[in-house]
Amino acid sequence: RKEVEQDPGPFNVPEGATVAFNCTYSNSASQSFFWYRQDCRKEPKLLMSVYSSGNEDGRFTAQLNRASQYISLLIRDSKLSDSATYLCVTRNSGYALNFGKGTSLLVTP
Amino acid sequence: NAGVTQTPKFQVLKTGQSMTLQCAQDMNHEYMSWYRQDPGMGLRLIHYSVGAGITDQGEVPNGYNVSRSTTEDFPLRLLSAAPSQTSVYFCASSYSGDDEQFFGPGTRLTVL
């Protein structure tokens, strides 16, 4: 079983919609949590870190539930430029990152 | 700053050939790593380094060698390429183990 599980989608939403992605992780010792964004045929880039108290960055809100080992990402007022694959990522005690397979989002006009 | 650079961008090899994928960063980052990304698999860690002269294995190290003689460079060597090594390879670096990892643009490798 993969350490980080995500629904691959694709999620097709109209511009302006709110969309939520979820992921679960299996290692209770995971210490750090992130959402990365990857555009088609490009490298992953950090979208935001995820903190236990929840955090927001503009239209993006991330939540972490350590008890349920569950991470979420909410995107409000979707833009065409939000179309990408969103990668849920954890880090255990070492340096290595554990990547989910990604959730594909397509925002349509 | 150029950030993390990788060469070549594309490469086609025949089974059994060897080659080196180059990775360099100009951010004075101590930590560097190599990932491979396959359809439906997500990114998987091959090898990583926490500083010059120090390397360690990741999740999928077989068939790959690395060395870290300088802070800037972290080449990945395929000694005898196999079709199973067809993938997109990303190099990443970070200032410390807790910091954001910055990825290079990737090398698309096909092994025939």
pLDDT higher than 80, residue A107: yes
| pLDDT 10s digits, A46-104 | 999 998 888 999 999 999 999 999 999 999 999 999 999 999 999 987 778 899 999 99
Instruction: Give pLDDT, residue B13.
Output: 97
Instruction: Give pLDDT, residue A82.
Output: 98
Set of chain A residues whose Cβ sits within 8 Å of the Cβ of B104: 43
* B11, B75 contact by CB (below 8 A): no
Please give the average per-residue pLDDT across B92-108, as a whole number.
Answer: 92
pLDDT higher than 80, residue B1: no
Please give the average per-residue pLDDT across B77-99, as a whole number.
Answer: 94
Instruction: Give pLDDT, residue B96.
Output: 85
| pLDDT 10s digits, B22-73 | 999 999 999 999 999 998 888 999 999 999 999 999 999 999 999 999 999 9
Put simply, the chain B residues between 79 and 98 with a CB less than 8 A from any chain A CB are 90, 97-98
Please give the average per-residue pLDDT across B71-82, as a whole number.
Answer: 97
A103 touches chain B (CB under 8 A): no
When the pLDDT of each residue in chain B is averaged and rounded to a whole number, the result is 95
Nearest CA in chain B to A8: B40
Set of chain A residues whose Cβ sits within 8 Å of the Cβ of B106: 42-43
Separation of alpha carbons B50 and A35, rounded Å: 23
String of b and e for B52-90 (b: at least 16 CB within 10 Å)? beebeebebbeebebebeebbebbbebeebeeebbbbbb
- According to DSSP, residue B97 is labeled T
Q: Give the torsion sign (CA, A78, A81, A83, A86).
A: negative
Separation of alpha carbons B45 and B65, rounded Å: 13
pLDDT higher than 70, residue A1: no
Set of chain B residues whose Cβ sits within 8 Å of the Cβ of A99: 35, 42-44
